[in-house]
Chain A
Amino acid sequence: MTIDIHTSSNFLKDDGTKESYHLPESATPMQIVDALLKSPESVVKQIKSGQVKKTLFILLGIFFLCHAIYGLIVGSFSGNVQWFAAPIKIVGGAALSALLCYPSLYIFGCLSGANITPSQTLSVLFGGLTLTSILLVGFAPVAFIFTFSIKTVAFMGFIHISIWAISIFFGLRYIVMGLTQMDSRKDSYIIKVWCTILILTMLQMTTTLRPIIGVSDTLLTPEKSFFVEHWLDVLNNKRNRRKNGGL
């Protein structure tokens, strides 16, 4: 006997269209997480409908919590002071990067034709970064297994950057979709430029706030460096074992 899934399965009870997912007006954080994963359009719809403050407040809460959880995993590689330094640096670095890129997102959004207010822009921006942080938490068990096995700081950094790259891809996809929902032109090159700027800012932030993975004598390294230059230094440094040097 075969049963037709299209009439029996609970995951296809709705008609399958994107609009079918309904996010309640007073959505809980878990409902927002669920909506960001299953139907990101519904979160943008809520922002568009004027419930900016409440949605932004919840998004910020999830953003901070998820980044802090992933920060703990990152900090567990070196232990000691990094148990609390890494979560603080990751939460702070991500938030600071977002704030640095926020004005340009608003301007670029308007230039691409979006009918968007500054507060809606901030909500869309943090929606994307919150989705990134949720995915980072999803990857946490994987990162945790690698943390115990990897010996060199450079490789641990590579694993974290790879995980972050996958996560930020979906975060940026949300931001682009959010702006499109706000009447921005589809495939606008200017938004793609902004996405590149955000990625570069976040990568540079990892170098500015170093060490995040390894351990060093100071909590922050005063020496200025470009992230590519710093990564090459770490790769060439033979003393980049777990307890020496920092990335």
Chain B
Amino acid sequence: MTDYFQQLWADLVRLCRADPRVLATWLDKDKEKIQSCLIWLILGSSLYGTSIGLWRAPLQSFYVAIKFPLLIILTTLGNAIINGMLAQLLGAKISFRQSFLAVIMSFTLIAIILGAFTPLALFLLYNLPPMGTALANKAHALVLILHVILIAFAGIIGNIHLFTLLEYICANRLKAKQILLTWLGVNMFLGCQLSWNLRPFFGTPHLEVRFLRDDPFNGSFYETVFFRLKCLLF
């Protein structure tokens, strides 16, 4: 058992060092490493998830701790086939499971970075005006901006490391760039929709705390953006 945890910790360290030569060899031991990555992904994103919902209510924080890893895993699973196909078509000699692991590795790194940011996010939340005060709306906006910045930062770091790994695997910078951009596009496309289905994350101050909205499958992210833009412009 101790060996297992030592191995798990060693995997975390290797993942953070993100040496493409080491991470590329993980793709050969994909079964074992998928498990290890999933554990760290769930831990990191759950921990960070608690800080997302905490300003609204402790129950919201608990819900987001479940929903945040779920969102990442569902996005990766939903795109597993197409990501594998696109990688092969664009010239990466990797199997479906290996491309799944590569994507999971980058998401795990993002989750670890976010997990490490949790104490900072909690400290900021501590200093914000709480719910029910006159400045609650301002605080809610600040929580939103803070998390967007943190997630964007972690996302950039995670994708830089994924690019380095892809560049090493493909031995071609252009191919690696193409694969990374298609993966990013496809993951964002589905991720936006799933985050819409799994809302609320931050918890709007005047709405009740819920695990999911009343009708989570009513409407889509893109429809909403389109109709909001239409209202603004016309």
Contacts and interface: CB of A to CB of B under 8 A. Distances in A.
Nearest to B223: A155
A3 B21 contact: yes
B95 A155 contact: no
Interface stretch (B114-122, B147-155, B213-221): B213-221
B88 A149 contact: no
Nearest to A135: B85
A135 B28 CA distance: 25
A129 interface: no
B78 A9 contact: no
B66 interface: no
B52 to A, nearest CB: 22
A10 B28 contact: yes
Interface stretch (B39-47, B103-111, B188-196): B188-196
B16 interface: no
A137 B85 CA distance: 10
Interface in A1-54: 2-6, 8-12, 14, 16, 37-38
Interface in B14-60: 19, 21-22, 24-25, 27-28
Interface string A75-90: 0000000000000000
Interface in B50-99: 77-82, 84-86, 88-89, 92-95, 98
A151 B81 contact: no
B100 to A, nearest CB: 13
Contacts of B193: 145-146, 149
A146 B220 contact: yes
A145 B22 contact: no
A170 interface: yes
Contacts of A6: 171
Of B24, B25, B85, which is in contact with the most chain A CB atoms at under 10 Å from its CB? B85
A170 B89 contact: yes
Nearest to B189: A142
Nearest to B23: A5
A10 B129 CA distance: 55
A148 B24 contact: no
A134 B81 CA distance: 10
A152 B223 contact: yes
A150 interface: yes
Contact of A148 (B22, B88, B94, B217): B217
Interface string B159-178: 00000000011010000000
Interface string B204-234: 0000000000000111101100100000000
A141 interface: yes
Contacts of B137: none
A118 interface: no
Interface string A208-242: 00000000000000000000000000000000000
Contact of A2 (B21, B186, B196): B21
A12 B194 CA distance: 35
11 contacts: A5-B24, A5-B169, A11-B169, A12-B169, A14-B93, A38-B93, A137-B81, A149-B197, A150-B219, A150-B220, A151-B218
Interface of B: 19, 21-22, 24-25, 27-28, 77-82, 84-86, 88-89, 92-95, 98, 168-169, 171, 186, 189-190, 193-194, 196-197, 217-220, 222-223, 226
The 5 A-B residue pairs with the shortest CB-CB distance, nearest first, are A138-B82, A5-B24, A37-B88, A11-B93, A138-B85
